[in-house]
Amino acid sequence: MTTSDVLEVIKPGVLTTVQDIGRPGYLADGIPPSGAFDTAALKLANLLVGNDPGDYLLTGDDPGAAGLEMTLRGPTLRALRDTVIAVTGAEMPVTVNGVPAPNWAVVPVRAGDEIVIGSARAGLRGYLAVAGGIDVPLVLGSRATNVRAGLGGVSGRALKAGDSLPGVHGSPDITDRRIRPDRVPVRTNPAELRVVLGPQDHLFTPDSVSAFLSTEWKLSPTSDRMGCRFIGPALTFLPRPEHLTVQAGSDPSNIVDDAICVGSIQVPSGLEPIVMGVDGPSLGGYAKIATVISPDLCRLAQVRPGEPVRFRAVDPDEAHELHLAARAVGTAADLA
């Protein structure tokens, strides 16, 4: 495999990072998986340009090819050689030398072309794949960027103007390929996030569990890849044993620290439930009312601050079937 710089960053956009399917295997070390927040969108982008889409959040070893995760407003890039790109996820307008290009489709570019990814008209996170994939060094088995820990990607940080992105030479002979229209995810308003109740729903009052499931929550601006906060009514807790005040803390939401999965919803002090994101912690000391199922992290990734969300409870069997359906994303069946 030959590698050479494939894209140069002219303007970095609001928050653009290199991501793949993530870095499983290190939760017990406190190292989150990271990777694309909307993995389905990145997989479809990789599929379009002929890259390995990789496996699945935390459950597979193959991180797939790395692309760019672009938040709110995308970057301006210069192609450094002839290749093909694809942009998926949020509806971010794409132009090549000023000429509009489609989303969810292969876009051929030539050396010297200027690629502008604009502000998202709907959704929050766009994904750009380039044939061959972005070839930054693997760190603990993945190229995913964790900005907080300074791991992976380009020097563990978001892209800056002047960065050059190395790419493996891919297959630029693919020139006309798009995602089947019925396989492009549809966004609803409010977004529906399916959850399995637990592990600590039993610590909340039954009224609060009902309120959690019936409220139209709004995403707080204080949200990022570590956690997404939701604004709505205060939730309350059942009386608890005295030893928890001593060992876990005086707030009724405090528990002795316990394992967290991506998607778990902590509710500190009963205020602003926080859905843990792909850069979130593996351990925490607040009661978790429910966990968003992994397929719906892709929906969560596309909710903008202020937009509404509802949580709907599913049982473990339904969650299992939804999981298997989501695992099927990223194959030739998704292509038009």
Residues in contact with another protein by CB under 8 A are: 24-31, 57-60, 139-140, 148-151, 195-200, 241, 243-244, 246-247, 249, 255-261, 263-264, 281-284, 291-295, 316, 319-320, 322-324, 327
Contact 24, 33 (CB under 8 A): yes
Distances (CA, A) of 104 to 53, 81, 115, 128, 302: 15, 22, 16, 10, 15
Nearer to another protein, 206 or 316 (CB): 316
Nearer to another protein, 59 or 171 (CB): 59
Give the residues across from 269 on adjacent strands: none
Nearer to another protein, 113 or 296 (CB): 296
Nearer to another protein, 93 or 285 (CB): 285
Nearer to another protein, 59 or 97 (CB): 59
Distance linking the first and last C-alpha atoms of the chain: 29
Give the Cα separation of 180 and 72 in Å (integer): 25
Nearer to another protein, 93 or 281 (CB): 281
Contacts of 191 (CB under 8 A, 6+ apart): 299, 300, 302, 303, 307, 308, 309, 310
Ranges assigned E (strand) in 268-335: 274-276, 283-286, 288-292, 308-313
Shortest reach from residue 20's CB to another protein, in Å:
16
Nearer to another protein, 87 or 248 (CB): 248
Shortest reach from residue 98's CB to another protein, in Å:
41
Contacts of 311 (CB under 8 A, 6+ apart): 193, 194, 195, 212, 213, 217, 265, 290, 292
Shortest reach from residue 169's CB to another protein, in Å:
27
**What is the DSSP-derived secondary structure letter of residue 334?**
G
Shortest reach from residue 195's CB to another protein, in Å:
8
Give the Cα separation of 41 and 127 in Å (integer): 7
Shortest reach from residue 23's CB to another protein, in Å:
10
Q: Which two tokens stand for residue 303?
A: 């909710």
Shortest reach from residue 129's CB to another protein, in Å:
24
Max CA separation in the chain (angstroms): 68
Shortest reach from residue 301's CB to another protein, in Å:
16
Contacts of 328 (CB under 8 A, 6+ apart): none
Contact 75, 159 (CB under 8 A): yes
Q: Which two tokens stand for residue 10?
A: 């002219």
Q: Which two tokens stand for residue 51?
A: 């890259």
Shortest reach from residue 323's CB to another protein, in Å:
4
Nearer to another protein, 24 or 330 (CB): 24
Instruction: Give the number of residues written for the chain.
Output: 336
